Structure 1
Amino acid sequence: MDHRSLSRLAAPAVAALLALTTGCTGGTVHGRPGASGLRDPYFPKAGNGGYQVEHYGLDLDYDPADGRLEGTAVITARAGQGLSSFNLDLSGLKVEEVTVQGEPARFNRTGNELTVRPAEDLEKGEAFRTEIEYSGRPKALTDADGTREGWITTGDGAVGVGEPVGSMTWFPGNHHPSDKAAYDITITVPKGYEAVSNGELRARTAQADGSTSFAWHSPEPMASYLATAAVGKYRVETGRTPSGVALYNAVDPGEAEASAGDLARLPEMVEWGAGRFGPYPFGTAGAIVLPAGTLQYALETQTKPVFPGAPGSEELVLHELAHQWFGNSVSPKSWKDMWLNEGFATYAEWLWAEDRGGTTAQQEFDAFLSGDTEVDEAADSDWDAFPPAAPPGPEHISGNPVYYRGAMVLHRIRQEAGDEKFFALLRDWAAEHRHGNASTADFTAFAEERTGHDLKKVWDVWLYGKARPR
């Protein structure tokens, strides 16, 4: 991120999984309700307990003319305990019907919680399929820091963005980054519109009524906050990087000219990132450029970052691309671990400039210590206001210390360990946790083990220390 500016969708693998464990054995299973939140330190009601999602199949029909969304969500999950009921996160929208394992299920709504009671208890370890029919006019949410997320309308369409919890405004799910899943998202829109989502475009199908359905497939695990659906009259350009990664850019026509130069660097950036951080973690890359002013920030939505108008700098494009390794492939275990996303992506900006003969990472580091805004205009910001691993509240998880002081933590490791061990650490970290989740504690232990250095002073002063580091 950057705040500085089954109905017909089930994959064959999911069907095979369900064939192995469907229904109950006929005996009485004494399950218990799954938790209605995961007690995240900043968003305690986000996510739900008792199960892990393995696949989302979303079938969406959206008409920009009246803002109405018709949706079917087919969620394939595995029970982590015997379940008499379980919860899904959903904000607004009307739920019309719910089935579990093909049988009607009772359900009720309380705030943003959809509680589902299957006809029969689910066994621990059981793979189960839940289908939710829902509709309505999805709305945006306002976050603690005053920014908007969720379902955002544009002049000619809409976009779904979800960091940290906004995805629940357009589909029901287990909306916490610790529960990642594969996705198939089909979006049907009126004639003349494009519908863009994560991953690979599997099919573009004209319907009898003149509408068009776009079927997108994301086989790699994805946290729900990284899912997106963008509807508008975009200009689409496709291509490949030199190593063969497919590219798909969807750009608002009014932003096309101003975006062209920055997006032209994307193939080079993908190849550079693979050299620095290890193989690009997904099958596709690209960008979605929204009409100017749609959002207050860019967001690293998986495989296709969303930009609030023309990016304006190649550094912003690079930042969101770097998140594909750090944040998207290696996702945080909780929102307290946000610096593992933003500090790494900011440091990637510094490395990009350094590798091209520009300002070095050492010069950036020194500039922040001295407040030299000629090197970096953010050098006199409140980058030292709090420790990056311990933001004081949810409104601070995208604060400057998470970005800049987070990047400075990485540079301190580089200073202590030397370039060879440091860059090996970055590659090993991305490889070890590829398509998984990791916490700050995981990283600090990993960094010490891989570099062979005692980094306690770095953690105590830079990562967790409350005083301004020196």
Structure 2
Amino acid sequence: MARQPGRDLAGSGHSPGMTPPGIPLSPSPGAERSTDPYLPESGNGGFRVLHYDLDLDYKVVQNRLTGRAVVTARAVQPLSRFSLDLARLQVRDVRVDGRAAKFEHRGGKLRIKPERPIGYGATFKTEIRYSGRPAPVSGRWGDIGWDELSDGALVASQPNGAPSWFPCNDRTDDKAPFLITFTAASAYTVLVTGDLVARRRGSGTTTWVYEREEPTAPYLMSVQIGRYEMVTLASGGVPQRAAIAPRMRSDFQRDFGRHGEIMTALQRLFGPYPFKEYVVVITDDDLDDPIEAQGMAVFGRNHLDGRRTHERLVVHELAHQWFGNSLTVADWRHIWLNEGFATYAEWLWSGASGGPSTNAHSAQWHAWLASRPADVVIGDPGVTRMFDPLVYKRGALALHALRAKIGEQAFFALLRSWVAEHRHRTVTTAEFREHAARYSTESLDGLFTLWLDRPALPPLPVVR
């Protein structure tokens, strides 16, 4: 991926307002508990976030971030203590409803003891002032989160990198709106997942204000900083823009030249685009894989070649705006609802644009799956396999099998209603199965059991 920054271990010591060394600050019972069985250390219980307000100042050359976060939340149990997720950065001060609070910050958790207990159902505001050199969160998937580029920075937080740059309740099922004020040197363009509502020039710096009104999971919030020029992806309909290095213009115009058609096709298949605009960022560094964020997708310069080699990835990331971003999995067991659907969107676009049909793709990937061990249960693949290509391809095949079973008209009506009824909410596999049952005169239990609950590969589905 991009080169990694130097590791700053700020935050491992003690600051004013913290409990003395050796005295752990434990949260209230249940207040530091994730509901995600795959990432039990990410996320916290005891409250639900209502809003994030972040005021950030970033020095690009020094990779130095100074922040003030105000997290508005509602207690879902009485709280004498609670915690937030925050990695590495140095916390200077914590206040709850304006009063100084004791805190302890270590192991990726910011544990807070307010001056007064918080009652069940109460709304409270936690203000955190922090700073340091942001760095990715390291784990089984490599380095995730805030990352330095050759000249700038990016954020790619799936699945657990959001705490690399702001304190949060890092759970997929705790979605909230955001307001982000971000200041950086004026030579750089700053893009944040949200709608740009203000931009103010100072002495050598520019402050950008972005608002994300739709409820958003922390991992889907992103910041992109670089010497970009903004260009139009497509005109008419949904505003579609791109941030690119000027020298990439020629290849970009070819590789993303059909983006307006792709947007139109996916809206026809899935329903209206769920956000106000769509922004594509092409970094001037190589990236292993593109990554989606709320209303945004990020590609590396290696995904441009002027031959549309990676157009399927363009489709895949756009499809995630419906499946993954507007409809967000309640926990990571259900990841096929993101990746299987986005993969199937690739196949649908291929057929619609004169390429191989969905039947051709299903045959190709069914043969590929048949050549490999059948050792993944798509409906619950396990944390070590959640990003396995088998989840992507077999998830798409499960949708193709459903389409073959219930027919064209019912299948696409099902997809559009699934998107509409769960807009900006979280979803589970069980909910999808129940939803699909409404569009079939026969039971679908057997089909879903074969494709989602068992590892053995079912026969090749064919749409007639």
- Normalised by the size of structure 1, how large is the TM-score? 0.87
Residues 1:382 and 1:92: Cα distance change in structure 2 (over 3 Å):
farther
What is the CA-CA distance between 1:369 and the residue it aligns to?
2.5
Match of 2:347 among 342, 347, 350: 350
- Aligned-partner Cα distance in 2 for 1:254–1:33: 55
Match of 2:457 in 1: 468
- Aligned-partner Cα distance in 2 for 1:111–1:90: 9
Check the 8 A contact 1:241/1:271 in 2, yes or no: no
Count of aligned pairs:
429
Match of 2:176 among 165, 181, 192: 181
Larger CA deviation: 108-117 vs 266-275:
266-275
Match of 1:365 in 2: 362
- Aligned-partner Cα distance in 1 for 2:75–2:235: 40
Is residue 83 of structure 1 aligned with residue 110 of structure 2?
no
Match of 1:109 in 2: 105
Is residue 299 of structure 1 aligned with residue 291 of structure 2?
yes
Check the 8 A contact 1:381/1:400 in 2, yes or no: no
Percent identity (aligned) = 39
What is the CA-CA distance between 1:120 and the residue it aligns to?
1.2
Match of 2:393 among 391, 404, 409: 404
Check the 8 A contact 1:382/1:400 in 2, yes or no: no
What is the CA-CA distance between 1:285 and the residue it aligns to?
0.7
SS at match of 2:347: helix
Is residue 388 of structure 1 aligned with residue 357 of structure 2?
no
What is the CA-CA distance between 1:453 and the residue it aligns to?
3.1
**For residue 214 of structure 2, what is the amino acid of its counterpart?**
E
SS at match of 1:463: helix
**For residue 344 of structure 1, what is the amino acid of its counterpart?**
F
Check the 8 A contact 1:384/1:405 in 2, yes or no: no
**For residue 192 of structure 2, what is the amino acid of its counterpart?**
S
Match of 1:14 in 2: none
- Normalised by the size of structure 2, how large is the TM-score? 0.88
What is the CA-CA distance between 1:33 and the residue it aligns to?
4.7
**For residue 307 of structure 1, what is the amino acid of its counterpart?**
F
**For residue 270 of structure 1, what is the amino acid of its counterpart?**
M
Check the 8 A contact 2:190/2:225 in 1, yes or no: yes
Check the 8 A contact 1:158/1:231 in 2, yes or no: yes
Uncovered stretches (5+) of structure 1, i.e. residues with no partner: 6-30, 372-378
- Aligned-partner Cα distance in 1 for 2:344–2:422: 19
Is residue 60 of structure 1 aligned with residue 56 of structure 2?
yes
Where in structure 2 are the equivalents of 1:4-403 lying within 5 Å?
A: 32-145=28-141, 147-207=142-202, 209-238=203-232, 241-243=235-237, 245-293=238-286, 295-312=287-304, 313-371=310-368, 382=372, 384-392=374-382, 394-403=383-392
What is the CA-CA distance between 1:424 and the residue it aligns to?
0.6
SS at match of 2:291: coil
Check the 8 A contact 1:387/1:401 in 2, yes or no: no
Check the 8 A contact 1:241/1:268 in 2, yes or no: no
- Aligned-partner Cα distance in 1 for 2:284–2:442: 48
- Aligned-partner Cα distance in 1 for 2:388–2:419: 24
Uncovered stretches (5+) of structure 2, i.e. residues with no partner: 2-26, 305-309, 460-464
Check the 8 A contact 1:168/1:175 in 2, yes or no: yes
What is the CA-CA distance between 1:34 and the residue it aligns to?
4.7
Check the 8 A contact 2:376/2:385 in 1, yes or no: no
- Aligned-partner Cα distance in 2 for 1:384–1:237: 45
**For residue 367 of structure 1, what is the amino acid of its counterpart?**
Q
Match of 1:425 in 2: 414
**For residue 303 of structure 1, what is the amino acid of its counterpart?**
G
- Aligned-partner Cα distance in 2 for 1:74–1:246: 30
Listed one character per residue, the Cα deviations across residues 342-400 of structure 1 (whole Å, up to 9, x for unaligned) are 000000111111122321111111222234xxxxxxx77748541211213x2321111
What is the CA-CA distance between 1:133 and the residue it aligns to?
0.4
- Aligned-partner Cα distance in 2 for 1:381–1:179: 39
Larger CA deviation: 162-171 vs 295-304:
295-304
**For residue 409 of structure 2, what is the amino acid of its counterpart?**
E
- Aligned-partner Cα distance in 2 for 1:292–1:383: 35
SS at match of 2:416: helix
